[in-house]
Amino acid sequence: MKDISRSKSAALYEKAKTYFPGGVNSPVRAFKSVYGTPLFIERGDGSHIWDADGNEFIDFCCSWGPLILGHNDGRIRESVINALPQGLSFGAPTELENELAELILTNNKYIQKLRFVSSGTEAVMSAIRLARGHTKRDKIIKFEGCYHGHSDSLLVKAGSGLVTFGETSSLGVPTSFAAETIVLPLNDKQALQEAFAQFEGQVAAVIIEGIPANDGLLIQEQHYIEYLRAITQENGALLIFDEVITGFRLGFEGAAAYYGIQPDIITYGKIIGGGMPVGAYGASEELMSCISPDGGVYQAGTLSGNPIAMAAGIAQLNVLNTDGFYEGLATKTKNLVDALTAYIDARNYQVKVFSIASIFWIAFTDKSSIRSADEIDANSMEKYKVFHRALLNRGVYLGPSGYEVGFVSAAHTQDDLDKALTAMKEGLDLVFV
Ligand SMILES: *Cc1c(COP(=O)(O)O)cnc(C)c1O
């Protein structure tokens, strides 16, 4: 297979390796799970990106989700440009924070108050602290296959044994921290029951991704989420929806509205900042009154509510809040997924496209559903590597790991999707030759 030229990217990568660990500022960017060196991106416009060698791609990574309107959207650009001359940061309140908060709170019945932070990690870390502060309990339950950012409490994976404390999934995380995090398999009511029995009166919160989408796309069933709501309530624990991906993606009110379930705390990130670094966590008035300076749970940020970032978020969310936005995006995605699935079925290829709203995951499996991390076959990732390379060579950019989902943006045109479909079909033919 003749590969696209990556010589300029490769040279930049060599240089970057002398500056940054692994040459990157976030690990997955290093292309360790796919072929070749990472592509250095020069610019993006609409659904397309261009790398340093001048290669053009239809982008389904979309900065890992934030760019639901695509790259370089004119409305966001205008909003940012208008905010720029007033200054970049004050560390004092600005009206723009009110504006973004009002836009969110008047259109989302699942939270009454919120606090802006600068990343998803920070939002989740703060939500956990709020849950612990409010319940006066220390333990949290998370699920294998959910990612919640890189704070210490959450870099924990399942330990050995049936119900036990987690093990750290990173060096540098104290084992005493991991001991406060219980890690359970998704889609397993009995495991939850046993954990609540074993740690009676100690669990502050259960945290789950709105739709787990960081380890494949592990779509949970309605009854399981309802069970989560019920069992947390019965045990005096809070339910946290980590909606850093699903917030403003499944709909303006995210997964909470998708399930019609009221969680106690919701975290946001990615889309909320329109491509700028913004995160947020929100809850009821009562819960949020625990946060400093009203209450005793401390949480702060020098650049929180940054005016330029707020301006980008306001512009993006205003577009998302228009009638028919999500329906249009979902239809577009479904058409792509259905067409690809029809091709797969016709050839009997062992691959499945899981999808919800504008999220899709191409999984090399023969299972008709995958709802927990242990159902993912690690060996299938070799097939993804071949597929990923074939797609790059055909001008389609997917996340550089088979565990990553793809995102369709409002900027993807029918022509983009037709071209991508052709490339995906050819890519699959290459995988299964
Ligand atoms: C991306 C992500 C995070 C972390 O957000 P950052 O902005 O990368 O810190 C947390 N939770 C979920 C569900 C995410 O997808």
Which residues contact ligand 1 via a Cβ below 6 A?
119-121, 124, 147-149, 209, 214, 242, 244-245, 269, 279
Of 51, 73, 242, 416, which is the active-site residue? 242
Of all protein residues, the one whose alpha carbon is nearest to atom 14 of ligand 1 is 244
- Of 24, 124, 128, 154, the residue with max ligand 1 atoms within 8 A of its CB, to mutate for a pocket test, comes to 124
| pLDDT for the residue numbered 159 | 75
Number of domains in the chain: 2
Give the domain-ending residue among 320, 353, 378: 320
Q: What is the CATH number of the domain that holds 421?
A: 3.90.1150.10
For residue 2, report the distance from its CA to the centre of ligand 1, in Å: 35
Tens digits of residue pLDDT in 315-346: 999 999 999 999 999 999 999 999 999 999 99
Same domain for 87 and 173? Answer: yes
Q: What is the residue range of 393's domain? A: 7-72+324-432
Q: What is the pLDDT of residue 166?
A: 79
Indicate the SS3 state at residue 136. coil
59, 173: one domain: no
**Among 266, 298, 320, which residue terminates a domain?**
320
Identity of residue 123: A
Strand order in the sheet with 238-242: 113-117, 279-283, 265-268, 238-242, 203-209, 139-144, 181-185
Is the same domain home to 252 and 177?
yes
* CA–CA distance, 293 with 298 (Å, rounded to integer): 8
- Please check whether residue 2 lies inside any domain of the structure: no
* Res. 162: pLDDT tops 60: no
The 406-407 sheet, strands edge to edge: 352-356, 359-363, 406-407
Do both 86 and 233 map to the same domain?
yes
User: What CA–CA distance (Å, rounded) separates 209 from 220?
Assistant: 10
Name the pairing type of β-strands 113-117 and 56-59. unpaired
The pLDDT tens digits for 103-120 are 999 999 999 999 999 999
Domain final residue pick, 275, 297, 320: 320
Q: What percent of the chain has pLDDT over 90?
A: 96
270 counts as catalytic: yes
Under DSSP, the state recorded for 111 is: -
